[in-house]
Amino acid sequence: MNDPFGGLGYALRRVVGALVVGYLLGLFVGHPWWGVTGALAGYLALQLLNLWQLDDWLRHRNRRDPPDTGGLWGEIVSLVSRLHRRKQFHKQRALALFRELRRSTASMPDGVVALNAAKEIIWFNRKAAEMLGLRRKLDFGINVASLLRAPEFARYLETGKYDSTVLVRPRIGEATCFELQAVPYGEGQMFLLVRDVTRQQQLEIMRKDFVANASHELRSPLTVISGYLETFATDAALPDELRSPMLEMRRQAERMTAIIEDLLELSRLEASDEQVVGSVIDIGAMFKLLRKDLMARNPSRPVELHCAVDEGLMGDPGLIHSAFWNLVDNAAKYTPADAPIVLRWWVDEAGCHFSVTDAGPGIAAEHLPRLTERFYRVDPGRARATGGSGLGLAIVRHVMQRHGGELQIESVEGRGSTFTCHFPPLRRVHQKFAIE
């Protein structure tokens, strides 16, 4: 039968047995309690011996075998041996995983820096040390923002919005440019991924310079060509069979002129990432101007305006009008002539908001993330028919970035689209206006 008390029951039986034997021996010599006392003393000496052997083995268990004892002490030794072997196994496994992690991160082309909740460095790989000039042991426990002195990186860490990246030039006067992104894990900890994008940034600068220079150089000859085409088209002596081709040439020249103007404007916007301060914008007057331009194209088109509030906008009037008109112009191009276009302006705790809602064909969900790219077309054939440059939404995106805002696009195929410009609360200005 199994002992329900395990080793403890065995130990109690041994104690009772020793007391009985001691009592009988003491009774034999005429002093039973001396026999009990001697039995207890002997049993205590045995326990002290077992305890000393266990202590000695625990202190030198890597060099000595476990003591050969039975009973409760034997179970304790067996349990400690199993725990020790399990600890050694997990320790070896953890060391193997750590070595594998170090080897794998050392071969990575990107830098990796591990930070604790206080943004202090607790580990980094070899590539991160090369890129950021980090020193092993010396820089452990140092706040990463104090080592990488870049205001944009400090703002990035403070915002807590790590779904995007930040570009940093760690050394003044050098062309080196790093792209950093924080990846949170655990309780406030994060990995900082570092990638060298110097080559990509140089190519981007070359692309911007080429586009700006090419657009500028094309502008003058295209103006001359457009002038001659206009002269020929209005000449009464022009044969009838050439009049239609001449009008088409004028239309295409005007389209090319619009594309070049948009390219030049986009190049100006990309030339600087600084936030625009600007001045107070009369939203009421701007809405009237937008409606007037829409009605000039199609007097019968229904246009709904909703913007009777006491809050205006602080920004660059030219840039804001350009962004708003691009959204309104897109809505007019893709909305049937008898369908309404709705313009809204409202404010709330999140800031100021301007939206344009059309009744066009809508846009499939897979196209929405790429709509603000240069020359991106949902339907190239339809875009050519409307005469768009493909740069309008890219201009809107850059204007919003210069004002600290963002462009939101919502659309359902067959049910139209809504383009909303969200401005931060600091752009709000108290201004009384109304739309008649």
> Among the residues of 30-124, which ranges form H helices?
32-59, 71-106
Q: What is the pLDDT of residue 435?
A: 52
β-pair partners for 328 = none
Alpha-carbon distance of 32 to 37, in angstroms, equals 9
- C-alpha distances out from residue 1 to 5, 10, 71, 148, 279, Å: 12, 13, 17, 71, 94
CA geometry: angle at 166 spanning 165 and 172, to 5°?
155
Kindly state which CATH superfamily the domain 108-196 is placed in: PAS domain (3.30.450.20)
Q: What is the pLDDT of residue 367?
A: 84
β-pair partners for 190 = 115, 184
Structural class in CATH, domain 200-270: mainly alpha
Q: Where are the domains of the chain?
A: 6-102, 108-196, 200-270, 279-430
Tens of pLDDT along 339-371? 888 999 998 888 889 999 988 888 888 888 888
- Within 10 Å of residue 388's Cβ, how many Cβ atoms? 22
Q: What is the pLDDT of residue 422?
A: 93
Q: What is the mean pLDDT of residues 328-348?
A: 87
Select the more confidently predicted residue: 410 or 237.
410
User: Strands, E, within 99-251: which ranges?
Assistant: 111-115, 121-124, 166-168, 178-185, 189-196
Give first-to-last CA distance, the chain, whole Å: 99
β-pair partners for 414 = none
Alpha-carbon distance of 431 to 414, in angstroms, equals 38
What is the DSSP pairing of strand 351-357 with strand 178-185?
unpaired
Select the more confidently predicted residue: 103 or 199.
199
Q: What is the mean pLDDT of residues 83-105?
A: 78
Alpha-carbon distance of 307 to 414, in angstroms, equals 27
Q: Are 50 and 31 in contact (CB under 8 A)?
A: no
Q: Percent of the chain, pLDDT > 90? A: 5
Q: In the CATH scheme, what architecture does the domain 279-430 have?
A: 2-Layer Sandwich (3.30)
